[in-house]
Structure 1
Amino acid sequence: MSKRDYYEVLGVSRNASDEELKKAYRRCAMKYHPDRNPGDASAEAAFKECKEAYEVLSDPAKRRAYDAHGHAAFEQGFGGGGPAPDMDDIFGDIFGTIFGGGSRGPRRGADIGYVLELDLEEAVAGVEKRIEIPTLAECSACAGTGSEDRKLEPCLTCHGRGQVRFQRGIFTMQQACPDCGGRGQTVRNPCRVCHGAGRIEDEKILSVKIPAGVDNGDRIRLAGEGEAGPPGTPPGDLYVEVRVREHPIFRRDGDDLHCEVPIRISQAALGAVVNVPTLGGEVEIRIPAETQTGKVFRIRGKGVRSVRSRVPGDLYCRIVVETPVNLTAEQRELLEKFEATFTGEEGRRHSPRSATFLDGVKAFWDRMTSS
């Protein structure tokens, strides 16, 4: 299958500057890097394609050859072997910025993700939680060395350097040593507990401080609390993702809180002072006479003080006029007398929305019958 144009691979014009090439490659690397797409063969292929394109276009001499002759400039017999897309070391300077180090040495331990469920009150006020994490921990029998006697010997393949070099056409390539994984040392006498891995399956209990104001999806990073790395490498990190449980009263929207406040028909008609809950205790709001369902009252500063803004949001109380149930005989009689007063034009004056609705219904049927 023919190769795609290198400029097309990186999404840049043929007169792109070195800085534009670098930015384009970083975007490509961030999108397709294997660490971000584990097990995705298509992403891995795209990543290699991006690396190959950048290796050529970032070198002035290779770029001139490519601009003049295209891919043929790197075919056997034209001027040397083509670029090797699987040699990570060529791009170490870029991955040092993007991922904290390319493939110049052994990788650190894997990061761990943990989902922590909180009540709304805990998320708003902040809390300290103890969590239990299944992980790969450093083997205590060999102190993480993987060696029964805790002694490591220089790798015979790379002579302790952790890197090997080889020739590919006119280019000299370098990559992590395949025998020692880039560590530069090997185990001659494997530990009987971890079988030379330097790590064992374990569980650990951690105390996590959750800052006040966290919300769904917020992540807290605990450096060095991830899986232990291979012998001689640092551990990964632990990322605790917050999930806030649904609350029976409040709904959070950013820094604001929303709730519904049910009131009786008499309170809505005559006006009243009602107590409404907040996360800091009850407050009073004054309901004016003739309040309808859907009216929203705003209570400033009774929302959430987020971890980002540090400015508290507001509480929005939506009024819901509740129909009374389980009426006594006396209550039913009073309501019947009250309903009897809503007749003729007097009734229309007291129920403007109902009157408007009925007028609309009458007009609709008039149109239907006349058509």
Structure 2
Amino acid sequence: MSDDPYTVLGVAKDASAAEIKKAYRRIAKECHPDLKPGDDEAEAKFKAAASAYDLLKDADTRARYDSGEIDASGQERPQQQYYREYAEAAGNPYRGRAADPDDMSDIFAEFMRGRGGYQQRTQEFHAPGHNRAYNLQINFLDAVFGASQKLTLPDGDRIEVKIPAGITDGQTIRLRGKGDPGFGEGPPGDALVTVSVAKHPVFDRQGDDIHITLPITIDEAILGGKVPAPTIDGGVNVSVPAGTSSGRTLRLRGKGVKKRGSSDRGDQLIELTVSMPDQIDDDLKQFMETWRESHSYDPRKGMPS
């Protein structure tokens, strides 16, 4: 990999400051170690980009590099200078300069430089540890109501993960201080736990609502009445109106998932479907034949033929 900062960032030597910053942020988003843990090639590319950006983002330092006064690592070309000497030298562009508050990635760039060739500049380095990424599968009802579950780490340690009520599939829980140890006096990183929610055989979540399909018999569909139905809180009896067709939906208010930031809950929607009996006996067959002769109707009326 070239150590020329322009080549590393993929910009021309006459690139504007905005173009340099945009190029660095693009590489940081693609190769950040938190996004690609364990990818040494991506980490090396990110470190190189951070080093190049740090050199070129300051107009004075960039001019000194362009004129050949300093090399790609920011050191004087005539002789080697360690960081303490360089920091105390008159005219040092880094002396007393605050970090750019608009570019938080610079903070992490300082950390990454401390792990690489820049260690020769200082014997004192403090930075947060790496974050660690984990995956955790939980069951459907634990996602709805919340729970506490143990997560086993690669070193065998186990940490407790508190699952908030209403968490969704793919959501990430941050456990402060449960990542890699910090450097020097830096704090440890965090554990980032991405949750996957297992499917339920009956309940289907759609936003804050719970959906189910409930089979009913022919006589329940025709005559109506009370029929049992499952909810995430337990079984209830629901009223099926007389003359119900498949596809009709009943709504149970407040029987869904707790809404985020509120004590209210979504609803449960029950889609009814008429289920035929396993065997059509002679009595039912004869009754329907007689009924059809005097009560014939066309449920497909109006549909194109």
TM-score, normalization by structure 2: 0.68
CA offset digits 1:134-172 (Å, max 9, x no partner): 33xxxxxxxxxxxxxxxxxxxxxxxxxxxxxxxxxxxxx
297-306 or 100-109: bigger deviation: 100-109
| Structure with larger Rg | 1
Does the Cα contact within 8 Å between 1:109 and 1:229 map onto a contact in 2?
yes
- TM-superposed deviation, 1:36: 3.2
Residue 142 (structure 2) pairs with residue 122 (structure 1): yes
Shift of 1:14: 6.7
CA contact (8 A) 1:261 1:319 kept: yes
Counterpart selection for 2:105 from 95, 98, 107:
98
Aligned counterpart for 2:230 among listed residues 268, 277, 287 = 277
Q: Which one has a larger percent strand, Structure 1 or Structure 2?
A: 1
Deviations 1:285-313 (A, max 9, x none): 33222222122222222110144555422
The 5-angstrom pairing of residues 175-214 of structure 1 reads: 203-214=156-167
- 1:352 maps onto 2:299 in alignment: yes
- Counterpart-to-counterpart distance in 1, 2:228 and 2:22: 57
| Shift, 1:34, TM fit | 4.3
Q: 1:311 to 1:85 in 2, by over 3 A?
A: farther
Farther off after superposition, 285-294 or 229-238: 229-238
Query: How many corresponding residue pairs?
Result: 268
Task: Name structure 2 gaps, 5 residues minimum.
Answer: 76-82, 84-93, 115-124
* Shift in alpha-carbon separation, 1:205–1:62, aligned structure 2, 3 A: closer
1:12-46 C-alpha deviation (Å, 9 max, x unpaired) = x97776xx965774454233334533436478547
Q: Is the Cα contact below 8 Å between 1:10 and 1:28 reproduced in 2?
A: no
Q: Which has the higher contact order (CA 8 A, sep 6+)?
A: 1
- What amino acid is aligned across from residue 299 of structure 2 in structure 1? P
Q: Which amino acid aligns with 1:119?
A: N
1:5, 1:134 → 2: CA distance? 39
Measure the CA separation in 2 of the matches of 1:116 and 1:253: 21
Q: Which of 329, 333, 338 matches 2:287?
A: 338
| Counterpart selection for 2:275 from 313, 322, 336 | 322
Matched, 1:250 2:203: yes
- Aligned-partner SS, 2:278: coil
Distance 2:295 2:134 in 1: 64
The CA distance in 2 between the partners of 1:52 and 1:100, in whole Å, is: 14
Output aligned runs, 1:1-371, within 5 Å.
9=10, 25-26=24-25, 28-37=27-36, 38-39=38-39, 41=41, 44-45=44-45, 48-49=48-49, 52=52, 55-56=55-56, 58-61=57-60, 74=66, 79-81=68-70, 83-84=72-73, 93=99, 97-98=104-105, 101=108, 102-103=110-111, 104=114, 105=125, 107-135=127-155, 203-229=156-182, 234-308=187-261, 310-326=263-279, 332-341=281-290, 343=292, 346-347=295-296, 349=297, 351-353=298-300, 360=305
- Helix, strand or coil for the counterpart of 2:167? coil
Distance 1:270 1:28 in 2: 67
Taking structure 1 as reference, are residues 240 and 60 closer, same or farther at Cα in structure 2, changes over 3 Å only? closer
In 1, Cα distance between the equivalents of 2:44 and 2:158?
A: 36
Task: Judge conservation of contact 1:48–1:85 (CA < 8 Å) in 2.
Answer: no
TM-score by length of 1: 0.57
Distance 1:326 1:346, change over 3 A: closer
- The CA deviation at 1:343 is 4.4
Q: Percent identity?
A: 32
Cα distance in 2, alignment partners of residues 321 and 352 from structure 1: 15
Alignment check: 8 A CA contact 1:10 1:50 kept? no
